[in-house]
Structure 1
Amino acid sequence: MSLQQEADDALQERSAFFIGADSDNVSLEEDHHQLILQKANALASENCLKDAIDWFTLAMRYGPMEPEQLSTFVDCIVRNFKRKAARPDALPGQSQDAGSNSRDDVFDCPSCRSFLGEPITLACGHSYCKRCLQRRLLSKCKLCRETVRGEEKANVILCGLLEKWFPDELSRTKTICEVEGLCRKKCYKEAVSLATDVIQRPEATALARLSRAEAYMALKQYRLALEDTEFCAMFRKAMVLHEMGQVDESLQAFLQCLAVDEDFPCAKRQVEKILCDLLCPDDESVKVGVRETTQNTSPRLRSKTLVSDAQTQPLSPVQRRHQHQKRWESLERQGLSRAHSLRVHTSDCGEEGLKRVCSAPQLGDQEKGSLLKRKLSTSDTEPCLVASGSSKHKKQVPEELLDPNDLECSLCMLFYEPVTTPCGHTFCKNCLERCLDHTPQCPLCKESLKEYLACRKYNVTSILDTLIKQFWSQQSAERTKSHLEETKELSLTKNVPIFVCTMAYPTVPCPLHVFEPRYRLMIRRCMETGTRQFGMCINDPQKFVDYGCILTVRSVHFLPDGRSVVDTIGGKRFRVLSRGMKDGYSTADIEYLEDTRVEDGDELESLQELHDEVYEQARVWFQNLKIHFHNQILQHFGPMPEREADIQATPNGPACCWWLLAVLPIDPRYQLSVLSMTSLKERLVKIQHILTYLQSIPSN
C-alpha cells in the first residue's frame, strides 16, 4: 500500500469520528491537522506537486507549521525542477550535467571547484578546502555521499605539497581567506578593497568575486553584489535576491542550487523558509482570508473553499457537526480530485510571468497556493547559471619539484594506501593500524585517536594515492607487489598464525577477548587475507603444544579502545610440524588430522552401539546437572548436539563428542590427549570412562 493510500484511509477513518466531535476540542483539531499534513507529505513523496501544494496550504489553515516540516515538500519540488531541467529541449546551462562532479584537476575542491588551498581530508578519504567545511557548505561528501562531520584538521602532507608546487595559487587562496576574515569582523570596506585587488589580477578566480559580493551585500550595494554573483555560485545570487526582498527570484535561484546539489543544506533551509512564508496565512487571513477567497471573482477558487462564512458566527453543537460533515464532503469531492482544474488555471497564466505572493496581501490562502503552483510551473523557462570557481586549465606540477621524499610515510617508506587521521597526519594504513594496536594516539602529535579507532574507517586518502600512482608509478607498483606477496604468505598453507590461549574443539563455539597488540594484528591479518582462520593451542614449556584446532572467525566486535570480542567456531584438528614467529605472534607449519574410517560391518555396528550408549549416558548426565551448571553450559556452549545418523560423515566424527569434551570438568592435558586421537572408538571409550566416574560421585 502506498503512502498516499495510507493517508487517504487515515483521513476517511478520522472523518467519521471527527464529524461527531465538538469542534472546540483542541486535541481533535491538532489530530486533524496532523492527518492533513500526513496526506500532504504522502502526495509530495509520490511527486504529486500541485496536489501537495493544496494540502500543505490547507494544513497551514488548521495550525502553524515549522519550515523543517516542509522538507518532503522541498524534495518534491527539487525532483520536478530537475526533471524539467533534464528535458532534451532545455536551455543551455540547464542540462543535467551542469552540476557534474567530473573534473580532471585533482587539486580542485569537489565542492566549490576552487583551488584546494588548505585541504582537509574527511574520514571517507576525500579532501575539501577548509573554506567549504568552515562555512558548512556541504552536509555529505559529493563524491561518495558519506556524512561530513567537519571536525578534521588540515592535511599536513597535502598542505606542504601545495605550498611547494603552487605557491602563487596558495597565496591567492590565503588572500581570499583574509577577505572573508574581514567580513566576519564587519570590516566590509577593507574587504571590498582587498578583494578588488585580487580580482584585478590576470589570474583572478570567481571565488574572489564571491567574497566581494558578500561584502557588497553587507554594505547594501546590491547592484554591485549582483554583478559579482554572475560569476559565482547561484547560491550567493539567491541570498542577495532574498535580502533585496525579491522572494520569487530567490526561490528560483535556490531551486537551481538544489537541482545541482540536492544535499546543499543552506539552500534547502532557505527554500523551506520561503515556502513556509508563502503558504502560511497572515493573522488576518486566519479570520477573514477564507471569506475573501470565497468572494473572489475566480469561480475555481470560490468553489474550492472548505470553510464557509458561517464560521465567524456562534454555532450550536448540531451546527458544528453539520459544518464538519460539509467540510469533509468538500475535502473528498474537491481536495482529492482538483488536479485538472489546477493545471488549467496554471496554463492560463503562462505568459503573465511570475507574480510575487507577498506583494498581494489581499489574496487568500487558495490564491497563494495557485500562485505558488504558477511560480513553480514556469521554472523551466529560467536559465540555470552555475559558475565554476576553478581555474580554466589543469594545473601542472613542475617536474623539477617532484621528490619522492615528500610522500614518505614517517613510519616506513613511500606511502602505500595512505590514510589521513583527524589530526591531519598521514600514514600507511598498515603502519597506522599497528601503531593503534599499542596506543590510541597519533604517532606524530600524540593527539588522542580513540574516536577514530572506534569507527575503524581507515579510508585511503584518494588525492595522495592518485599522485603517487601518477608520478611514482614504478615505486608504487613495487610496494603493491611486496604487499601482495606478504598477504600470500599469510594465507592458510604454511606459517599458520597460532593463538596460544585455550583448548578449542571442532564444531564448538570459542568466544575470545583479544586485547594484546600482537593478537590484534594477527586477527586483523586473518580478516584482511580472507582466510578468517587461525590455529588455537594451549601453552606448555615448549611455547605451545603439538596439537590444536583451527578456528574460523564468524564475527568481530571492535571496542572503542581497540580491543575486540571475536566469535569463532572450531574446525579441523592439526598437528604441529614446526614452529616460528612473525611480528610477535607464533606461527606453525601443520598437518591436519582425520579419523580412521571403519569399513568392516561388524566393527562398524559395534562402534554404532558404543556411540549410542555413550550418547544416552551423556544425555542423562546433562539432564541431572544442577540448574546452575546446566544453564551455564547452555549459555557458553549451547545445547547438546542431536544424535547423528552417520557417525563417520566428517573427518572429526560426531559433534556430540567434542561438545562433551568441552563441557566436562577435566584437565586440559587429558582433553588434549582425546583431541589428538584419530580413532573414534578410543575417543568414545575415554569419554565413557569420564562420564562413569562423574556419575559415581554422589551429589551434595
Structure 2
Amino acid sequence: SSSILITSCPWICLFCENFIYEPITLYCGHTYCEQCIKDDKFVSINCPRCPNDIQEQIKSSIIYARENNSSKNHFLKQIIERSTTFKLKCENILLCHKAQNEYMKKNYQQAIDIYSDIIEKYDDEHIAFYGRAKTYKVLKQFDKALTDIEQVILLKPYWAKGYYCRSEILFEMKCFTPALLSSLQGLTIDPDDQIGKQIMARHLHTVLHNNNDKQDVTRAENDLNMFPSTNNTIKQVMTSNTCDSKLHMCKSTPLTPCLCALFDSEHINARDYDCSICVNLLWFPITTPCGHIFCRECLIRSIDNTHAQCPICKKSLEDFFPLLIQSHVNKTELVSQITETYFPNEFHERRELYEKENIQGASIPQQLTNSGESIIFEIPIFICVLALPHSTCPLHVFEPRYRLMMRRTIETQSRTFGMCIYNEQTETFADYGTLLYIRGLIYTQDGRSIVDTIGRQRFRVIDRGMRDEYNTARIQLIKDHVIEQDEFDDLYQYNRTTYKRVRDWFQQLDPYRRTLISRQLDGYPPCDDLTHESDDGPSWAWIMLNLLPIESHLQYTALSSQSFRDRLQIINNTMDFLLNQQPQTISVSDDS
C-alpha cells in the first residue's frame, strides 16, 4: 500500500527491522543482515530497497548472494566494531540469536529467560519481544504471547512479520476471523510476501469452513480496533528520538526509526575510508562477493591488467565482473553516504580528482571561427585504422589501455575520441585523423567491448601526449577551403556527375554484391548537393572513399585535403580503374 511507510534508514535491515548484524552487501548496493539474506525460509527474492521497475530486469541480487555464498562486508564490519553504541546493539542481537538457538533445541524456558533479560535492560528490542512471543505460543501461553506481540507491533507498526505472528497466535486461540484480519494487515504492508499469502489463505479457508466460529466480521474488526497497534493515533516508540546527524539520502521520518545518531562520527577518520588500490577516499565504492570494497574504476582497471579476481583475497570474480562492467553493480550505498556526510571536504576533493583523472573526453567546439581556424582542444587518440567522416567504424576493443579509454569516453557528454593510423616512418600516429562518435557500446563478459562508431569532423594534430598508457593529442579541426562563386557552379555539377557514375557502376554489380554493399552501408547513400556552408563537402563522397578499393595512402590524402575537387578526382580515377578492369575480367572468364 502506498500509504504504508517503510523504514529507510540505511543502518536498519528491512527484513528484520533491526540493526544490520553481520552485514552482507548485495550487488545492488544495499546491505542487510547475513542471517536475513541466507535464511532458507525467507521466500522473497527482491531487494526491498530497489525500485520495482528494475527488480525484474536483471538477476535478483538476493539469489545471486545465496548462489555465490557472498561473504560479510569486511569493511562495514570493521566500522561497526569501532563504534561503541553499535557494538551494544550487536551484543543484544547476538543474545537474541543465542535465545533463538535454545528455541530451536526446544529449550523453551532457557530461551524465555534470555529474551526476558534483554527486555529488562532494553524495552525497545522488538526482536526479543518477537522471539519470546513465539516461544510462549509454543508453550500455549497465549495471553503472554499476545501481550508480547502487541508490543512488537507497537514498536514496529510497519513490520509485516509482527502481524503474521499475531495472526498465528489468534489462530491457535480459535479466534479465526481476527487471525484472518491480522494476516491481511501484514499483506497490506507487503502485498507480494509469499509467506503472508500462505498464512492468509489458510486462515481464510478455516473461516469459510468453520461453523463453530460465532464471531461475525464486524465484531472481529471492532475487536481488532481495540488493539493498541491498530489505532490511527499510535505513538511509535522510537529507537532514537532525535537524529541530528542523518546520513544523506536517509529517508526515515518521525514515524520510522533512525540509527544514524548512534554512529560514533566524532571518532572516525577519513583515512579509514581509503581505497586499498588507489589509497584515495573511496569513490563509487563497490563491494565484491568476497566482502571487500574498492573504487569501481580501481577494481575494473585491476581486472583489466591482471585476472578476474579480488585484489586482496584473490578469490575469483569471473561471475561478478560481467555484472560490474555492464553497470549492474551499484555503489555500496551505506559507505558512500558515510563519506559524503561526515567528510564533505574530502568528498568534494575526491570528486574533483575523479573528474580530472577519468572524465577525459573531447569537448567539441560548436562551430569553427570565421577566420577558418578552429579552437585547439585535447582528445584521447585510438591508433588503429583510417576512419573517414560520415563512415561507420566498428571496433573490437580488448587492450586494457583502450578499455579504459572507452569507459572514460562513454561517460562524457560528447562521447567522442580521435582515430589515427600509425605512421611507421615517424613511429607515432599520423598528423591527421577523424573524430569518432560512439553510437553504441556492448561489453562482453570478460570486459572487452564492441563499439559502434561513426566518423564526424577531421582534425590536425598540434601536440602529442600520453595518459594512463594511451595516447592523447591537442588538435585543431580542419575544413575545406572556401569555394569561389565562379568555381562553385562547376563543382556543383561535378559532384552530381560523379555520384551518377558511381551509382551506375553499383547498379551493374551482381545482386549478391549489391546486397552486401547495401547492408554494409545500411542502404545506398543518396546524393547530397554541395553547399557553401559545408565544412567537409557532401557526405556520400566520404562514404564512397571508404567503400571503394582505394589505396590507403590515397585515402589519407583525401582525409587531409581541404579541396573537395581533389576528393572527387580520386573517386573518378578509381572508377576509371574499375571500369577498365571489368571487361578484362569478363574476357578472361569467357576464355576459360
> Normalising by the residue count of structure 2, what TM-score does the alignment of the two structures yield?
0.79
Residue of structure 1 in register with 2:572 after alignment: 688
Q: Does the Cα contact within 8 Å between 2:270 and 2:346 map onto a contact in 1?
A: no
State the 1:431 CA deviation. Answer: 1.2
State the 1:581 CA deviation. Answer: 1.1
Q: SS where residue 442 of structure 1 aligns?
A: coil
Q: CA–CA distance in 1 between the matches of 2:225 and 2:436?
A: 63
Q: Does the Cα contact within 8 Å between 2:359 and 2:409 map onto a contact in 1?
A: no
Q: Does the Cα contact within 8 Å between 1:112 and 1:389 map onto a contact in 2?
A: no
Q: Does the Cα contact within 8 Å between 1:117 and 1:162 map onto a contact in 2?
A: no
Residue of structure 2 in register with 1:454 after alignment: 322
Residue of structure 2 in register with 1:73 after alignment: none
* 1:392-407 matched pairs, under 5 angstroms: 392-393=240-241, 394=259, 395-398=261-264, 401-407=267-273
State the 1:187 CA deviation. Answer: 4.8
* 1:65-464 matched pairs, under 5 angstroms: 96=3, 99-103=5-9, 106-135=10-39, 136=42, 138-145=44-51, 147=55, 148-150=60-62, 151=65, 152-165=70-83, 166-202=86-122, 205-232=125-152, 233-275=162-204, 277=205, 356-360=207-211, 384-385=229-230, 391-393=239-241, 394=259, 395-398=261-264, 401-412=267-278, 413-438=280-305, 439-455=307-323, 456-464=327-335
State the 1:194 CA deviation. Answer: 3.2
Distance 1:382-1:668 versus aligned 2 partners, 3 A rule = farther
Percent of aligned positions that are identical: 32
Stretches of structure 1 that go unaligned for 5 or more consecutive residues are 1-78, 83-95, 279-355, 364-370
Q: SS where residue 575 of structure 1 aligns?
A: strand
Q: SS where residue 510 of structure 1 aligns?
A: coil
Match for residue 579 of structure 1 among 457, 460, 464: 464
Q: Does the Cα contact within 8 Å between 1:256 and 1:384 map onto a contact in 2?
A: no
- Structure 1 window deviating more from structure 2 (437-446 vs 132-141): it is 132-141
Q: CA–CA distance in 2 between the matches of 1:495 and 1:624?
A: 45
Q: SS where residue 432 of structure 1 aligns?
A: helix
Q: Summarize deviations over 1:164-220 as a string: whole Å, max 9, x none.
A: 212222222222223334444555454334333333334661112222333333444
Letter in structure 2 aligned against 1:161: I
Match for residue 661 of structure 1 among 528, 545, 551: 545
Letter in structure 1 aligned against 2:408: R
1:472 aligns with 2:343: yes
Q: SS where residue 415 of structure 1 aligns?
A: coil
Q: CA–CA distance in 1 between the matches of 2:221 and 2:449?
A: 55
Q: Does the Cα contact within 8 Å between 1:114 and 1:389 map onto a contact in 2?
A: no
1:522 aligns with 2:522: no
Match for residue 380 of structure 2 among 497, 500, 504: 497
Q: Summarize deviations over 1:593-618 as a string: whole Å, max 9, x none.
A: 211232324x2221122212211121
Q: Does the Cα contact within 8 Å between 1:195 and 1:208 map onto a contact in 2?
A: yes
Q: CA–CA distance in 1 between the matches of 2:448 and 2:343?
A: 37
Q: CA RMSD in A?
A: 3.2
Stretches of structure 2 that go unaligned for 5 or more consecutive residues are 153-161, 242-258, 365-376
Q: Does the Cα contact within 8 Å between 1:596 and 1:678 map onto a contact in 2?
A: yes
Q: SS where residue 172 of structure 1 aligns?
A: helix
Instruction: List 4+ stretches of structure 1 deviating above 6 A.
Output: 371-383, 386-390
Letter in structure 2 aligned against 1:396: L
Letter in structure 2 aligned against 1:358: H
Q: SS where residue 414 of structure 2 aligns?
A: coil
Q: Summarize deviations over 1:360-417 as a string: whole Å, max 9, x none.
A: 2899xxxxxxx88998999888764599897345543446632333212111222122
How many residues align structurally?
Answer: 519
* 1:589-608 matched pairs, under 5 angstroms: 589-601=474-486, 603-608=487-492
Q: CA–CA distance in 2 between the matches of 1:421 and 1:172?
A: 28
State the 1:531 CA deviation. Answer: 1.9
Q: CA–CA distance in 2 between the matches of 1:379 and 1:504?
A: 75
State the 1:102 CA deviation. Answer: 4.9
Letter in structure 1 aligned against 2:389: P
Distance 1:376-1:240 versus aligned 2 partners, 3 A rule = closer
Letter in structure 2 aligned against 1:234: Y
Q: SS where residue 692 of structure 1 aligns?
A: helix
Q: SS where residue 531 of structure 1 aligns?
A: coil
Q: Does the Cα contact within 8 Å between 1:234 and 1:387 map onto a contact in 2?
A: no
* 1:31-50 matched pairs, under 5 angstroms: none
Q: CA–CA distance in 2 between the matches of 1:531 and 1:177?
A: 55
Q: Summarize deviations over 1:115-137 as a string: whole Å, max 9, x none.
A: 11212222232222223323337
1:506 aligns with 2:394: no
Distance 1:182-1:533 versus aligned 2 partners, 3 A rule = farther
Q: Does the Cα contact within 8 Å between 1:509 and 1:568 map onto a contact in 2?
A: yes
Distance 1:646-1:171 versus aligned 2 partners, 3 A rule = same
Residue of structure 1 in register with 2:560 after alignment: 676
- Structure 1 window deviating more from structure 2 (536-545 vs 550-559): it is 536-545
Which of the pair has more CA radius of gyration?
Answer: 1
Residue of structure 1 in register with 2:513 after alignment: 629
State the 1:633 CA deviation. Answer: 2.4
Match for residue 354 of structure 2 among 443, 459, 483: 483
Q: Does the Cα contact within 8 Å between 2:150 and 2:229 map onto a contact in 1?
A: no
Residue of structure 1 in register with 2:368 after alignment: none
Q: CA–CA distance in 2 between the matches of 1:459 and 1:418?
A: 8
